[in-house]
Structure 1
Amino acid sequence: MMHCPETFPIPLIHLEETDSTNRYLKQLCDQSTVEELTTIVAEFQTSGRGQRGNTWESEAGKNLMFSFVLYPTFLEARRQFLLSQLISLAIKEELDQYADGFSIKWPNDIYWHNRKIAGILIENNLIGSSISRSIVGVGLNINQTDFHSDAPNPVSLGQITGKEHECLVILAQIIRRFKESYTSIGSNHAQTIGSRYQQALFRSKGMHRYKDTNGEFLATISHIESDGILVLHDEQGKERRYAFKEVQYLL
């Protein structure tokens, strides 16, 4: 059982079990008025979803599986990658308080060295050129020690630190970090957020192996553009540009 902090920074709905916190929150928003940053957290998900249609393995009561709602109507659809940067940084920078070695694997997986500790799925609704609603779903491994799926490289915070952690205390801190950055987007320069994100990137330096539709190659990360495009420079010095799902990291 997760123990909720006495004060929580946003409205929290705590479920014992659901098929997907993203789906539950979407249905709730479709049926009623839901305050921004309202968060659904579940002890167990029967069919949690990740990027590329993957599922997220999580032992009941051991990890954080949560979703929260945003109404970023001030944000043009072409700038939606900014939300991905903000939540990735909030999680990564909170985990930095517990150990070294965390990074963001483009676009928004959280890694500890070469092992994945968190995944993020953001689902946006658009009206015209603006985002009307975003549902942000996160799976973050906290206390699980045994993983049985075919995922190649999972790790938990408990495995890293050798200690058990209070899931909802970590969730509260992640939400506080995100809320602080999100509410100041208007006065913050996207360039500052982009710089923080760039510095936090997995394999931000050196040549590493990638794969696209033409095969494997070695490249270094040049930069990430404001719309989320990954720009690489290969061994021949050629610039390669990729949208999400167009290139694969080889671990």
Structure 2
Amino acid sequence: MTHSAPEFIVYPQLESSNLEMKRLASKQQLAEYSLVITPNQTAGHGQAGNSWESEKDKNLTFSILLRPGFLAPHLQFCISKVVSLAIIDTLKTLGIESSIKWPNDIYIEDSKVAGILIENSIFGHRLEYSIVGIGLNVNQEQFVSDAPNPISLIQHTKLNHRLDDVLESLVDQLEHRYHQLETDRTALIDTEYMNALYRKDGTHLFRDEHGEFEASIDTVNEMGLLTLVDTVGTKREYAFKEVGFVL
């Protein structure tokens, strides 16, 4: 049985690479690792509809198609873990230390350098496909949106980075991490995800619907729920958007 090769599809401009990948995937049987990329994404967004600012020709804005049929739908957060770790790995090859702000924002120190939007299609009892959208700030030197704390690689390193080189490295790292998932190395993935979490050590200020409180990170479960332990020892479990850091 032969498998079609991944497609590399470039558009001069798109509103959203995820939307375009979704449109293409609904019309044809795209191979795993097919990629939609544009140098000018005009209406990108992240989790819960948050907008994503990207200056033309300065950053990486793309979507890649995965077909994790081996993964039960209730374990879909594993995709988020491996994508986050792949970006961490990529930045490490550039000499940049970064962390994962739960659930999957990528931070350099206290500023956001990359965002991830994963949209899954479930068919019956399996994941039919996952569209992984990634926005990585690379060579943008000024940000004008109301995003609170963006940073780019050039701002951090004072060096210009070749977009093609960063993309190639990122796809390679993603394939490596995804292979770990395919071969059931979930314990390693879980450990490295927890070790890479932003503010994983110590007590920090958080905010939920009841107000601000101090707590430390305890764990993130297989469905992506975050458990915090407050200063009186009470464990609090949260889904995405139910709690946030006070930065």
Calculate the TM-score normalised by the size of structure 1. 0.94
1:17–1:43: 8 Å Cα contact kept in structure 2? yes
C-alpha distance in 1, partners of 2:98/2:177? 20
1:25 CA drift (Å): 0.7
Which residue is 2:188 aligned to?
192
Q: Which amino acid aligns with 1:224?
A: V
> What secondary structure, in the 3-state scheme, does the structure 2 residue paired with 1:84 have?
helix
Q: Which amino acid aligns with 1:211?
A: R
Q: Which amino acid aligns with 2:212?
A: E
Q: What is the aligned counterpart of 1:42 among 28, 31, 38?
A: 38
2:85–2:177: 8 Å Cα contact kept in structure 1? no
Q: What is the aligned counterpart of 1:92 among 69, 75, 88?
A: 88
2:227 is equivalent to residue 234 of structure 1 = no
**1:166-216 alpha-carbon deviations (Å, 9 max, x no partner):** 112111111111112213424232111000000100001011111111111
2:194–2:220: 8 Å Cα contact kept in structure 1? yes
2:126 is equivalent to residue 135 of structure 1 = no
Further displaced range: 10-19 or 181-190? 181-190
**1:10-58 alpha-carbon deviations (Å, 9 max, x no partner):** 5321221011000111111111121111011111111111112111101
2:149 is equivalent to residue 162 of structure 1 = no
Quick one: percent identity of the two aligned structures? Answer: 42
> What secondary structure, in the 3-state scheme, does the structure 2 residue paired with 1:133 have?
strand
Aligned residue runs from structure 1 range 13-32, under 5 A: 13-32=9-28
Runs (5+) with no aligned partner, structure 2 = none
Which residue is 1:102 aligned to?
98
**1:58-107 alpha-carbon deviations (Å, 9 max, x no partner):** 10000000001111111101100100000000001110222343100011
2:113–2:137: 8 Å Cα contact kept in structure 1? yes
Q: What is the aligned counterpart of 2:48 among 40, 48, 52?
A: 52
Runs (5+) with no aligned partner, structure 1 = 1-8
Which residue is 1:245 aligned to?
241
Further displaced range: 58-67 or 41-50? 41-50
C-alpha distance in 2, partners of 1:15/1:92? 26
C-alpha distance in 2, partners of 1:40/1:249? 32
> What secondary structure, in the 3-state scheme, does the structure 2 residue paired with 1:244 have?
coil
1:125–1:133: 8 Å Cα contact kept in structure 2? yes
C-alpha distance in 1, partners of 2:203/2:81? 23
Calculate the TM-score normalised by the size of structure 2. 0.95
2:229–2:236: 8 Å Cα contact kept in structure 1? yes
2:203 is equivalent to residue 217 of structure 1 = no
> What secondary structure, in the 3-state scheme, does the structure 2 residue paired with 1:122 have?
strand
C-alpha distance in 1, partners of 2:220/2:75? 13
C-alpha distance in 1, partners of 2:180/2:189? 11
Further displaced range: 169-178 or 56-65? 169-178
1:99–1:161: 8 Å Cα contact kept in structure 2? no
